[in-house]
A and B are shown apart, each in its own frame.
Chain A
Amino acid sequence: MARHTGALSLLKALGKVSARHVRSFGSIGGQNLFLFVIFVALQPESAAFFGAVLLLVLLFPLAADPMQALPEDRRATWPIQPWEWGLIRAASLLLSPLAWIGVALALRLGWRAGALAIAGGAIVQLLRNMAKRLGGMTGGWLRWVPAPPGAMGAIMRLQWRGMLRTLDPYVALVLSGSTTLYRFFGAPLDAEAPRIMALVTVLALSTHTQVLLGLDGAGAERYLQMPLRGWQILLAKDLAFLAMLAILVAPLDLEAGLLAGMASLVIGHDVSVSKVVPQIPWRFTTGALIPWGLLQTVALFAVGNSVRTLGLPLVAGCLVAWFCSVVIYGWKWDRRARAA
């Protein structure tokens, strides 16, 4: 019996790793869109749409094979029999969060929904493996993110890559893309709908404004050693955020989207500079939902919805507020850097 406790221990360890893997998705609790989804849950049809969008994006990290948690070199050196590996392989499938989601959907919505989720997960896993192999050859698609010239450009590229290594932009892309497609190919939309969806897209990306430095992980410490002023670092990161946002909201409502993005940055600078929280790659960005996320949600909807009525004075006001915020929080970062 003692000879086979190794396989059992391995399964236990895999269970622990899987549980931690699932817990890491708790970062969604600090994402501004999550707050919005809770609000709209009062209207179940809307909540179902946003829930489906989140699930679609989560499908990619959730579909990870639990066996990948065991390093291949370890597998080769441990004294475990081939038949034991077979048992571990079979049992590990039950540890996949996707299997549990499939079962839950099957119980709630019928076996077709459950089978669809599991089949979707299997396809995603296949795509992931293919991308991994391709990534091994090309070094990953993120290397194709371009850098504008100069030091600011290099920081902008870094910010884009940091953003693209979280799930937030993909939720924003699905929201923006699905609305755009529906706008052109679906039933006529309410005149206000593109603007509202542009603002929801901003909301999906807005948590990034609370972690402008945290997205760099351990690299954030490097800024303390660089001969750059805080405002230069913040400006580069803000411009990167606004550029990505512009691409996402351009088909919906560029003006409202960008002004809402600026409002989000003005509020996000404080928490970005005062608390550098490293983010987990390929998870939702996590910020401070209360009060900053709540404030950002209110501010970006207020600004985005007022742009038609208030016009140029609002545009000027947003630009001035953003500029002042970059200068003030840049100065605060410099002070923090000297007192680190």
Chain B
Amino acid sequence: MLTGLMRPGAGTARICGLAVDNPELKRIVGVLPESLALFDALTVGEHLQLTGAVYGLKSSDTQLRAGQLLRVLRLEHGRDTFIHQCSYGMKKKTSLAMALLPNPRALFLDEPFEGLDPITAETIRVQLRAIARRGVTVLLTSHILSLVDRVADQVVILRRGGVVLDSAIGDLPHSLEASYFEHAETMAAEDLEWLGTPAR
């Protein structure tokens, strides 16, 4: 709803001063959707070209930004690879690069660290901190709590559609992981006895 993809049933919400049902909102937000929403028939580089063209960037700017993004995300080797031939991590990076390329004023990222190698995940974390310092709003969802702990200013934990924790990261009484287990989930403690037992 905040990205303008769904119309609110009731009430209003604004992103960077624009109502969420304003079509212009799409010009200022970057989205990394859960489905990644990529085209099998385009290469990684062509996805970025398409994004630049759709957002009205000059071709030279698109090329410059695309080159930098591919370098930072360690995706240069895959520039000419078709999406259907890419690994999950490459697809995730492509979708993330598409969200960043138009220089959005607000970023909505669904599981940005999932499926990525540790160096790229850390690079993204550093970049997100940097752009947040420059005034870009970053809203992300993630189950990789060790990274969320180091990237977020504010955390919200949801359980079955309801908010169970909403706190500044510095105000948490325990680690984020401990808070998560306290408020959201408990671990299944079943022992799989047959694992490690010699077959009869």
Measuring CB to CB, which residues of chain A are less than 8 angstroms from any residue of chain B?
A: 139-140, 142-143, 147, 150-151, 153-155, 157-158, 161-162, 165, 216-222, 224-229, 281, 334, 337-340
Q: A217-B39, A218-B38, A225-B33 are in contact. Are A153 and B53 (CB under 8 A)?
A: yes
Using Cβ atoms and an 8 Å threshold, which residues of chain B touch A338? 4, 7, 21, 23
Return the contact of B53 from the options A150, A161, A220 (Cβ within 8 A). Answer: A150
Compute how far the CA of A79 lies from the CA of B42 in the bound complex, rounded to whole angstroms: 38
Docked-complex contact A225 and B39, CB < 8 angstroms? no
Compute how far the CA of A158 lies from the CA of B54 in the bound complex, rounded to whole angstroms: 13
Q: A154-B49, A154-B50 are in contact. Are A222 and B26 (CB under 8 A)?
A: no
Using Cβ atoms and an 8 Å threshold, which residues of chain A touch B21? 338
Compute how far the CA of A225 lies from the CA of B28 in the bound complex, rounded to whole angstroms: 11
Chain B min CB distance to A150 (Å)? 6
Q: A139-B82, A158-B50, A216-B39 are in contact. Are A226 and B26 (CB under 8 A)?
A: yes
Compute how far the CA of A222 lies from the CA of B40 in the bound complex, rounded to whole angstroms: 12
Docked-complex contact A281 and B55, CB < 8 angstroms? no
Compute how far the CA of A130 lies from the CA of B23 in the bound complex, rounded to whole angstroms: 48
Residue of A nearest to B81 (CB): A139
Apart from A139-B82, A154-B49: 13 A-B pairs, beta carbons within 8 A? A143-B43, A143-B80, A150-B53, A154-B50, A165-B40, A216-B41, A217-B39, A218-B40, A221-B37, A222-B38, A226-B26, A334-B23, A339-B6
Using Cβ atoms and an 8 Å threshold, which residues of chain A touch B40? 165, 217-219, 281
Q: How large is the interface on B (under 10, 10 to 19, 20 to 34, 35 or more residues)?
A: 20 to 34
Measuring CB to CB, which residues of chain B are less than 8 angstroms from any residue of chain A?
A: 3-7, 21, 23-24, 26-27, 31, 33, 35-43, 46, 49-50, 53-56, 80-82, 84-85
Return the contact of A151 from the options B35, B43, B46, B50 (Cβ within 8 A). Answer: B50
Compute how far the CA of A267 lies from the CA of B30 in the bound complex, rounded to whole angstroms: 35
Using Cβ atoms and an 8 Å threshold, which residues of chain A touch B49? 147, 154
Compute how far the CA of A340 lies from the CA of B23 in the bound complex, rounded to whole angstroms: 14
Return the contact of B37 from the options A147, A219, A337 (Cβ within 8 A). Answer: A219
Per DSSP, chain A at the interface is helix
Chain A min CB distance to B37 (Å)? 4
Interchain Cβ contacts under 8 Å between A and B, 22 examples? A140-B82, A142-B82, A147-B46, A147-B49, A153-B53, A155-B50, A158-B41, A158-B42, A162-B41, A165-B40, A217-B40, A218-B38, A219-B37, A219-B38, A220-B37, A221-B37, A222-B39, A224-B5, A225-B33, A226-B54, A227-B55, A229-B23
Residue of B nearest to A340 (CB): B5
Using Cβ atoms and an 8 Å threshold, which residues of chain B touch A140? 82
Compute how far the CA of A334 lies from the CA of B22 in the bound complex, rounded to whole angstroms: 12
Q: A143-B43, A158-B50, A226-B26 are in contact. Are A221 and B81 (CB under 8 A)?
A: no
Compute how far the CA of A195 lies from the CA of B41 in the bound complex, rounded to whole angstroms: 33
Compute how far the CA of A249 lies from the CA of B55 in the bound complex, rounded to whole angstroms: 35
Using Cβ atoms and an 8 Å threshold, which residues of chain B touch A147? 46, 49
Question: 9 tightest A-B contacts by CB?
Answer: A219-B39, A161-B41, A227-B26, A221-B37, A151-B53, A222-B37, A154-B50, A227-B27, A151-B54
Chain A min CB distance to B31 (Å)? 5
Compute how far the CA of A96 lies from the CA of B188 in the bound complex, rounded to whole angstroms: 45
Using Cβ atoms and an 8 Å threshold, which residues of chain A touch B5? 224-225, 337, 340
Docked-complex contact B43 and A225, CB < 8 angstroms? no
Chain A min CB distance to B139 (Å)? 15
Compute how far the CA of A139 lies from the CA of B81 in the bound complex, rounded to whole angstroms: 6
Docked-complex contact A221 and B80, CB < 8 angstroms? no
Chain B min CB distance to A144 (Å)? 12
Using Cβ atoms and an 8 Å threshold, which residues of chain A touch B33? 221, 225
Compute how far the CA of A229 lies from the CA of B54 in the bound complex, rounded to whole angstroms: 11
Chain A min CB distance to B59 (Å)? 8
Chain A min CB distance to B179 (Å)? 32
Chain B min CB distance to A301 (Å)? 31
Using Cβ atoms and an 8 Å threshold, which residues of chain B touch A143? 43, 80, 82
Q: A158-B50, A227-B54, A339-B7 are in contact. Are A218 and B36 (CB under 8 A)?
A: yes
Return the contact of A139 from the options B38, B43, B55, B56 (Cβ within 8 A). Answer: B43
Compute how far the CA of A224 lies from the CA of B7 in the bound complex, rounded to whole angstroms: 12
Chain B min CB distance to A280 (Å)? 11
